[in-house]
């Protein structure tokens, strides 16, 4: 298996709570409702890591006891970009952390024959070029959809982009790093392989179907 342990652009969140929740999500016996709740909880843990480098500025405030300089987030609000449809399953957890963030959506589906992404929807904030963008999608499988989504963001003017997923395949990580070496990847695990049908092994199945109970 490819080794990304020395790549500073690939961050695997090994916190015990993150690994525990991912194991529950992998379990085929986990119900749709439980899976959805776990995805939201796990996205909060991923969000902490993805937002580690947000810029801060000092502002003067008054506590109940005295005045002080205290740090707060600086600059434009974040933009969270969900790759439809499964990205919405981890979008809410990110919004729990930053309720004021702007939200964009990119609709992509993977052609079952070519495994290449096909775009069907795009809606982004007009000033996305002045915002830090966090792109969310539960799975990084072939990497083609993520690379295509990030290319569209860059066309719209985005420059500071982080990609967040629950689970990745080595091929997907390699594809995204090759296409966009400036984009940091934050995930909970990089699994063994991608099978001939484009599924991550051992994986957790189709994230969209498990989130929305469509199979």
As annotated, the active-site residues are 110, 114, 206, 209
Q: Which two tokens stand for residue 197?
A: 């049908």
Going by C-alpha positions, the residue among 142, 198, 182, 131 that lies closest to residue 165 is 142
Q: Any known ligand binding at 200?
A: yes
Q: Which two tokens stand for residue 165?
A: 């997923």
Q: Any known ligand binding at 150?
A: no
Q: Any known ligand binding at 39?
A: no
Q: Any known ligand binding at 206?
A: yes
Q: Any known ligand binding at 201?
A: no
State the distance between the two ends of the chain, measured CA to CA, in whole angstroms. 30
> Could you tell me the CA-to-CA distances from 24 to 17, 36, 93, 149, 208 in Å, in that order?
11, 11, 17, 29, 16
Q: Any known ligand binding at 143?
A: yes
Annotated binding-site residue numbers: 85, 110, 137-145, 200, 205-207
Which residues participate in the annotated binding site for uracil?
200, 205-207
């Amino acid at each position: 298996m490819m080794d990304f342990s020395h790549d500073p652009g690939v961050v695997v969140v090994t916190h015990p709570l993150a690994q525990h929740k991912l194991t529950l999500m992998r379990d085929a016996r986990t119900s749709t409702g439980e899976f959805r709740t776990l995805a939201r909880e796990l996205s909060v843990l991923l969000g902490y890591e993805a937002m580690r480098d947000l810029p801060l500025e000092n502002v003067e405030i008054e506590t109940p006891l005295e005045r002080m300089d205290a740090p707060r987030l600086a600059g434009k609000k974040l933009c969270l970009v969900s790759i439809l449809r499964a990205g919405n399953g981890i979008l809410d957890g990110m919004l729990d952390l930053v309720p004021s963030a702007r939200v964009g959506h990119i609709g992509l589906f993977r052609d079952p024959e070519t495994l290449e992404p096909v775009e069907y929807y795009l809606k982004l904030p007009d000033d996305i070029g002045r915002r830090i963008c966090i792109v969310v999608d539960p799975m990084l499988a072939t990497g083609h959809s993520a690379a295509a989504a990030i290319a569209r963001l860059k066309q719209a003017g985005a420059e500071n982009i982080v990609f967040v997923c629950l689970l990745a395949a080595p091929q997907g990580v390699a594809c995204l790093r090759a296409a966009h070496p400036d984009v940091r990847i934050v995930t909970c695990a990089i699994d063994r392989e991608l099978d001939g049908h484009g599924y991550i092994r051992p994986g957790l199945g189709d994230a969209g179907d498990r989130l929305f109970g469509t199979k």
